[in-house]
Amino acid sequence: MSTITSQDDEDTFKILIATDIHLGYLEKDPVRGNDTFVTFNEILEQAQTNEVDFVLLGGDLFHENKPSRKTVHSCLESLRKYCMGDRPVHFEILSDQAVNFHFSKFPWVNYQDGNLNISIPIFSIHGNHDDPTGADALCALDILSCAGLLNHFGRSTSVEKIDISPILLRKGRTKIALYGLGAIPDERLYRMFVNKQVTMLRPKEDEDSWFNLFVIHQNRSKHGATNYIPEQFLDDFINLVVWGHEHECKIAPTQNEQQRFYVSQPGSSVVTSLSPGEAVKKHVGLLHVKGKKMKMQKIPLKTVRSFYMEDIVLGDHPDLFNPDNPKVTQAIQAFCMEKVEMMLDNAERERLGNPQQPEKPLIRLRVDYTGGFEPFSVHRFSQKYVDRIANPKDIIHFFRHREQKEKNDSDLNFGKLVGRPASEGMTLRVEDLVKQYFQTAEKVRRFRESRRKNTEEEDEEVREAMTRARAHRSEDTILASASSDEELMDMGMKATGDSDDSLPSTMSRGRGRGRGRARGARGQSSTARGSSRRGRGNTSQESATSSRTYKPVSIPAKNMSIVDAFRSLKPQPSWNSSKSYSEDIIDDDSDVEGIPVVPSSRGNHRRNLTPSRALQHQEELNDFRLARSERPLKEMESSIRSIPCTMLFCKRWFALNLHFCGMA
């Protein structure tokens, strides 16, 4: 870090740097309620006393996202008291202010507003406590900016890409490029840095002549795999980084050995947690910049409430404390009281040299009671220091370390079984589990989509194949049926038209069923149409003429067609015969012959087969053939048996047709 010999030169910037003021913290506490407002007044008073060019705040000016009326009123009162006046501002803005303050209704710095009289401009980014929220994405800093008391910059509204445009300042021959980035969730910003989605824009002219100052409000120390921002993510052309959000005061610039820039961590100006980092003395910085050289001057804050903290390990004092002693708890309590009194004495001596410091200090005593000790009553202990300590309820904090088991070589090392990146360390975080879950869910979704697509393609191919096969089968069936039906019609015409003297004048029809049972035939008399008889087996009454019974027809040989098999029967009678005959047609089922015939109660239905009636039967036959491709074989056989009696002699032909068509 280069030093500056003349600090009051007209080419030298003087900048007061502070972060994490947290206005309004514990404002309702009767003892500590005004600590933040008193310290904020001291910071602005230091800026006025040192006649700085501007004040640079690193976020978390307010402790709450929606500060109370008291907090806002106190802040406005301090800004108007110390930042408004007739003292001129000696630097100018070279950048496009409409870009630097594009989210504001008044996109220009407040000291250039003709309606305002600003003597000390304040530039501030927002932190994680006072970040923009709500539908309009407003924060408390926007109220101050709209009032003309503060310049809010470094705001980014995009979650996909961040372009950081600097505010270009010039005083004499010194030029500063002021970069700012308000608080963003660390995991998101970490991912954006890794994906190269954060860009820091540089001036087009004389890039190397600018002093690049960057203010950021993020986790600097590592709290998890991605819950922080490594310094290596920042560009190496930066000269100084002012790091907010970390409360431990490390305001002296330290150089990053890899990126070669300096980092200053001013810390908070108020104690917001009773932790070791808060016990470090609070400071603000007075930065002097001339050309490319800089100097950081530490200014201690005198109005900050003193904080003393000490740890006690009871196991380290075996000569004083024995867990088996029944009065060991009283001994521990007396020892803690002695430690608290010592810290109170140190706070009193420090306050003698600083009358601006609050009277009551903050005391924290952490007691490790590992080893069989028992804690005493904290509330009873606190009652003794209500009038002397600012935090009487939080003086004692008992804790116990977990006993670590000795490593055994025979124990199974689960870390070797589950491979994880080295960056994850040994910490399992909820953010990592959520990220892993969504990555796995995305893979599962893609697999399901590909499998569903393949299944749909396969189903479509199967449907097309079934459609082609069905169409081909229907064509073959229609062609075969057409030729067979024509020949069948010829046989029916001959059987009805020709006369046969040897045939009986009445015709009765028998109908049987295999597998141990038979059904009686039903016949119709040609002379008496209205009165009919129906029975099982042969008719119960023979006509005057001789009756004739056809024997079962054997299955034709393979070299005979179906029609030839029917033509091999006796010559069929003619349609013009005036004689009537009775005929019994019996199925070719060998197990039917020995079954006795039981007469049926239903009468025989007699009908004359005319050419029009034959055509009607032919249409019924065609309808049946079209429907049989969609019906099971048993239903088809049942339908065959229910065809009118005149066409029942074709039953055997249907069975053979089904066999040759591949349906049987």
Is residue 364 within 8 A of residue 309, CB to CB? The reply is yes
Q: How confident is the model at residue 375 (pLDDT cuts 50, 70, 90)?
A: very high
Instruction: Show Cβ contacts of residue 225 under 8 Å, excluding neighbours closer than 6 positions.
Output: 423, 424, 425, 427, 429, 431, 432
Name which of 101-110, 136-145, 185-194, 578-587 the model is least confident about: 578-587
Return the higher-pLDDT residue of 444 and 310: 310
Q: pLDDT, tens digit, for every residue of 534-551? A: 444 444 444 434 444 444
Q: How confident is the model at residue 588 (pLDDT cuts 50, 70, 90)?
A: very low
CB environment 560-581: b (16+ within 10 A), e (fewer): eebbebbeeeeebbebebeebb
- Averaged pLDDT for residues 42-71: 97
- Averaged pLDDT for residues 98-107: 93
pLDDT at 460: 85
Q: pLDDT, tens digit, for every residue of 149-184? A: 999 999 998 888 999 999 999 999 999 999 999 999
Residue with tokens 């089922």, as numbered in its chain: 589
Assess whether 223 carries a catalytic annotation.
Answer: no
E strand intervals along 146-249: 151-152, 162-164, 167-171, 174-181, 198-200, 211-217, 240-244
Q: How confident is the model at residue 81 (pLDDT cuts 50, 70, 90)?
A: very high
Name which of 33-37, 123-127, 371-375 the model is least confident about: 371-375
Is residue 361 within 8 A of residue 273, CB to CB? The reply is no
Torsion, Cα 38 39 41 42, to 10 degrees, reads: 120
Name which of 180-189, 335-344, 471-480 the model is least confident about: 471-480
Q: Is the pLDDT of residue 564 over 90?
A: no
Q: How confident is the model at residue 7 (pLDDT cuts 50, 70, 90)?
A: low
* CB count in 10 Å sphere of residue 273: 10
3-state secondary structure of 656: helix
pLDDT at 488: 54
- Averaged pLDDT for residues 248-275: 96
Annotated catalytic residue, options 63, 129, 152, 217: 129
- Averaged pLDDT for residues 86-98: 96
Alpha carbons 435 and 399: distance in angstroms, whole number: 33
pLDDT at 617: 63
Alpha carbons 664 and 659: distance in angstroms, whole number: 5
Q: How confident is the model at residue 232 (pLDDT cuts 50, 70, 90)?
A: very high
Any idea what the Cα angle at residue 56 is, between residues 50 and 58, rounded to 5°? 135
The closest alpha carbon to 125, from 200, 205, 180, belongs to 180
pLDDT at 457: 84
- Averaged pLDDT for residues 60-67: 96
3-state secondary structure of 93: strand
Looking at every residue in the chain, the average pLDDT score rounds to 79
Pairing of strands 151-152, 548-550: unpaired
125: left (phi over 0), alpha (psi -120 to 50) or beta: beta
Q: Is the pLDDT of residue 528 over 50?
A: no
Q: Is the pLDDT of residue 558 over 60?
A: no
Q: How confident is the model at residue 453 (pLDDT cuts 50, 70, 90)?
A: confident
Query: Which amino acid type is present at position 54?
Result: F
